[in-house]
Amino acid sequence: MTDAWTSFSQQVAKGISLAMIPPTVSTCTFTLLIITFEEGSQLRTSLCWIISILCSGILQMLYVLYLRSHKRVSAYDVPKRSQRTTPYFLSVGISLCGLLLLVNIQASTQVVVLMSCYVVNTLFLALINLKYKVSAHLMGLTGPGTYLYLIFGSVSLVLLPLVFLVGWSRIVLRAHTLKEVLAGAGLGIILVLLQLELFRAYGIVVVATLHTVATLH
């Protein structure tokens, strides 16, 4: 009975972990924001959506799949900390390119700010990973979740059970310890809150600067 339950738990945890990978969360979050806030032509809206989902997770996921196909990482979720360094720093570059493109086509503020959060959050994740391992799954869930809460209010709390489920799944699969799960979840929340406070204070200057840089390129 114990072995059967353990096997069942492993399968459920694996399904949750696979379904809630960061690119899935980012795609859903950007899609919601673009449907809600983007205005203008269908072509421009579609372009915003494509840039957002590609540069917040899809391209990064494709790179990891490439690494796995060439056996340069041991598993698709890259469990070894030493193997995460290059994908993380590449992710920062991809997200930054996406941010500049979104500013250049004058995407909505909500979309631009979220992409900037992806740049900063991933940079912190990459730097922390040089010394410690934290859960990217949890950080990739609580960060966007916090952002949605700040925009849409308490209705976003319906996503809260997902945080516990994903955390449980990562622990059951032995991909992370409880401490690593809590660290990832906490960092996602704290970094987004700090960035939103900074944006409220300096947002106009930041967007204007980014637009200038994007235009020069």
Q: Tell which residue, 151, 145, 133, has the closest CA to residue 191.
A: 145
Q: How confident is the model over 30-60, as pLDDT tens digits?
A: 999 999 999 888 999 999 999 999 999 999 9
Residuewise pLDDT in 10s, the chain (217 residues) = 567 777 889 999 999 999 999 999 999 999 999 999 998 889 999 999 999 999 999 999 999 999 989 888 888 788 788 889 999 999 999 999 999 999 999 999 899 999 999 999 999 999 999 999 999 999 999 999 999 999 999 888 888 999 999 999 999 999 999 999 999 999 999 999 999 888 877 765 455 554 544 454 4
In contact, 66 and 77? CB cutoff 8 Å: no
Spell out the alpha helix ranges (H) of the chain: 2-19, 22-37, 42-53, 59-69, 85-104, 109-129, 136-152, 160-172, 178-216
**Dihedral sign computed on CA atoms, order 101, 107, 113, 117:** negative
Q: How confident is the model over 172-181, as pLDDT tens digits?
A: 999 999 999 9
Q: How far apart are CA 216 and CA 200, in angstroms?
A: 26
Q: What is the DSSP letter of 57?
A: I
Q: pTM value?
A: 0.89
- How far apart are the two ends of the chain, measured CA to CA in Å? 62
Q: How far apart are CA 34 and CA 46, in angstroms?
A: 9
